[in-house]
Amino acid sequence: MKLLRLLGVLLAAASMPLAAAEVAGVKFDDRVRIAPDTPELVLNGAGVRTRVIVKVYVAALYLPEKKTTAADVLALAGPKRMWLSMLREVTGAQMTEALADGFKANNPPADQERYKAQLAELAEALGTLASTKTGDTLAFDFVPGQGMVVRANGKPLGKPIGDEGFYRGLLRAWLGDRPVDADLKRGLLGQG
């Protein structure tokens, strides 16, 4: 009888979806699909964005296949997701400023000029958020043929923005030579 119960527990556990990772109490699925006509993406890595000593958000990077260097991630074509789960309240203006600063710090002046209009569109989309609170999520999804779709708690903010070049430029805020948080960069690349 004990063997049957144990078998039942094991079968039940095997049928439950498992989170691939947990960081700062936030669980991440090992695979996601960002649009009906895109392939599933795999969790590449995750980490915590800390500013000074304050934990701001947990981020996860999803790609078509795992990559361990920033150069390989940035060279990878196709759908991608940068997913954030907020650990504190942040205004849309604060998020916009942080992303713009990260973009400027990690992209050459020519790209900053080239993508000025897309950065303005991103600022407009994030500006529709009064603020985020603990547990809110933001997804920055690149969908081929559409551009970057920004979602707050699963709902789109504005219209798709830019092209894959702009999306790569935005990813450099997290993965570039001067990332917003070096520990977070290592986590997103599965190195930490």
In a domain, 10, yes or no: no
The pLDDT confidence band at residue 130, using thresholds 50, 70 and 90, is: confident
Q: Does any domain span residue 103?
A: yes
The predicted structure's pLDDT at residue 20: 61
What is the secondary structure of 97-116 as a DSSP string? HHHHHHHHHHS-HHHHHHTH
Q: Is residue 8 part of a domain?
A: no
Q: Tell me the pLDDT of the chain averaged across its residues.
A: 88
Has residue 132 been placed in a domain? yes
The pLDDT value given to residue 51: 85
Cα 28 to the chain's mean position, in Å? 11
**Position 4 in a domain:** no
For the cut 50, the answer to whether the pLDDT of residue 166 exceeds it is yes
Gap between the Cα atoms of 68 and 42, Å rounded: 13
Write the pLDDT tens digit of every residue in 89-107.
999 889 999 999 999 999 9
The Cα 61–Cα 188 span in angstroms is 6
Q: CA 59 to CA 85: how far, in whole Å? A: 6
Where residue 187 falls (left for φ over 0; alpha for ψ -120 to 50; beta otherwise) is: alpha
Q: What is the pTM of this model?
A: 0.86
Please report, for the domain that includes residue 54, its CATH number. 3.50.70.10
Asked, for residue 3, whether it belongs to a domain, the answer is no
Average pLDDT of the segment spanning 127-135: 89
The total domain count for the chain is: 1
- Find the domain containing 177 and state its range: 17-188
Q: Classify residue 135 as left (phi > 0), alpha (psi -120 to 50) or beta.
A: left
